[in-house]
Structures are given as structure tokens and as C-alpha cells.
Homo-oligomer: A and B are copies of this chain.
Amino acid sequence: MGQYYVGVDVGGTTVKMGLFSDVGELLEKWEIPTCLEDHGSHVLTDIVDSIESKRCKWEGNIRGIGVGIPGPVTDDGVVLKCANLGWGVFSVKNELASLTGVGNVKVANDANVAALGEMWRGGGRGYDSIVMVTLGTGVGGGIIHQGKILTGSRGAGGEIGHTKVNPNETQTCGCGNRGCLEQYASATGIVRMAKEHLPENSCLFNQEITAKTVFDGAKAGDEYCKEVVDKFGRYLGLALSNVAHVIDPEAFVIGGGVSAAGQIILDVVEKYYEENSMYALKDRKFHLAELGNDAGIYGTVRMVMFK
């Protein structure tokens, strides 16, 4: 009879799920919609039903279930409010253990499990201490310290997107503050910066501006796009240098939709990281994430496979 692990990555729209062998091989992955009705009270039962319906097919024993949640989670699996799902404070770990009968359940923040997944099987392979930053609509972060997620005392470890990089900013971030990294390094932030002083001679003029068109323009030699990319790199390099002065990681992994731009991102971020870092923190490694949307399910399974 097979021995399996299940990885669950809960998002605001879909729940990504993966079945892994007992040596950590991804055997099958699938998605179910996230039901936001009734304050998200169906989310966990939907997950359990989905696991059960697959269980017949696998004919095996589930040795552990790992879960990623888009909100702060403590080390003992208590979610501390999750606005995206409508959840208040409760133990996801205990609830899921009781619904499934599986004792080995672990729960963590989604950005944190993505970081753990990348360390295990992605861009952070070979390290046990990394900082991962996810550049999407917002900027997420996850820190792996000595092979484990750095959760923090109330689940807010690795919230790199809201470190301050520009005390002079006048516009407000989604979090209510001003000058957060997210305002410059997210897809939204890049578009905002690109629109600010857009000159007529830029290739961006009269076309739809996205993070991709900005990076493509810079690669093609457009001076204005290069300026915007430089500004992006200046803030992200500064933020990652500040993070390094706190936890001194071996390497950084950059993921999320924006990172599809590739090497150009590593180059500009590394340049400004070096410029801002004291001697003992220079020469850290920068890598692109490799697992894309699967990073979360890998990370959740890594949590329950290795204590």
C-alpha cells in the first residue's frame, strides 16, 4: 500500500493540491475552486472532500498534509485572521486533523511555504538559509532559516513587501503606509512608476503598459524603460540588503510573475544589493525561482515530510 503526502495551497480563487510519494515526488496535481461563501467555512470541507475522492484511486495511506494560507499563521497552525478567505482566528491544523483523521498536519503562510518549496526543489536548492521575494500584484516574502520557515512571533515574519525603502513617498501603499517596497517592486508598482513621467519617445508611449512591456522595452534598449528598471532595482536591492543586515542569508530567490523577465532582474537587483551592503554581507547569491505556481505545494509537503 502506498504512502503519500498531500500539499494544499489555498488561494483566494483556487486551491492548488498535490499528491506526493513518500520520497517527495509530485505524482499528481489538481485544483478546486475556493468557495468564499459563508465566511469561507466550506474551504476546509471542500479540501477534505477532494482528498477523500482521490483516496479511493490511490489506495494508500496519507502520512501528512501540509497547507499554505494567504494570511498570518503561527507555528502551531493557528491562522490569525485571513481577510481573503473571510476567516477569523482558529486552528486550521486541529480542524483539518479532526476532519481527515491525519495527525501530521502543518499549516503556514503561503509566501513562506513557497520559499520552503523553492529551497527544497527550486531556485534555492543546496542552501538552507534563503530569502525569497515574490513579485506579483503585490510583493510577498518568505524566509528560510536553517532549513525551516521563519514564522515570527505572530506569523508576520518575512513581510518584506512592507519594509520602507522611500521615506519621501507621497502616495499610499495598500497597507496604509507610504514608501513600502511593494510600491516599487510589484507589477502594479512598476506600471505606476512607468506611467509617472512617460515621455513621447519611449516605446511605452501609446501602448498598454505592463511590467512585461517595461522589461521588454529595457531589453530592447529603450532609455526610459531602462530608467524604470533601474529604479525598480534600486528599491529592491536596497530592501534585500536591509533584510540581509538582519538575517544574513546564503542566497536570495526571486519569483512571481514579474520575475519572468529573467536575468535582467537578477543583474539590476544584485548591483544595488552590493552597493548597499556592508563588507561581511557582499557576494550573496541571487537566483530566479523555478517552481512557479507549484512552489506552494512543494513547500507544504516539505513541512510535513521533515520535522
Contact = CB atoms under 8 A, between A and B. Distances in A.
B158 A246 contact: yes
A150 B144 CA distance: 12
Nearest to A175: B278
24 contacts: A72-B280, A143-B247, A151-B248, A152-B247, A152-B248, A152-B249, A153-B249, A155-B248, A155-B280, A156-B244, A156-B245, A156-B280, A159-B245, A159-B246, A159-B248, A160-B246, A162-B278, A163-B241, A163-B242, A163-B246, A166-B167, A167-B167, A175-B278, A246-B247
Chain A interface mostly helix, strand, loop or mixed? Answer: loop
Interface of A: 72, 80, 129, 143, 145, 150-160, 162-168, 175-177, 238, 241-250, 275-276, 278-281
Contact of A156 (B154, B156, B175, B278): B278
A177 B280 contact: no
A281 B242 contact: no
Instruction: Quickly give the copy total for this chain.
Output: 2
Contacts of A175: 278-279
Contact of A162 (B80, B243, B245): B245
B242 A154 contact: no
A154 B248 contact: yes
Given A159-B281, A280-B72, A280-B159, A246 B143 contact: yes
A159 B241 CA distance: 11
Contacts of A276: 164, 177
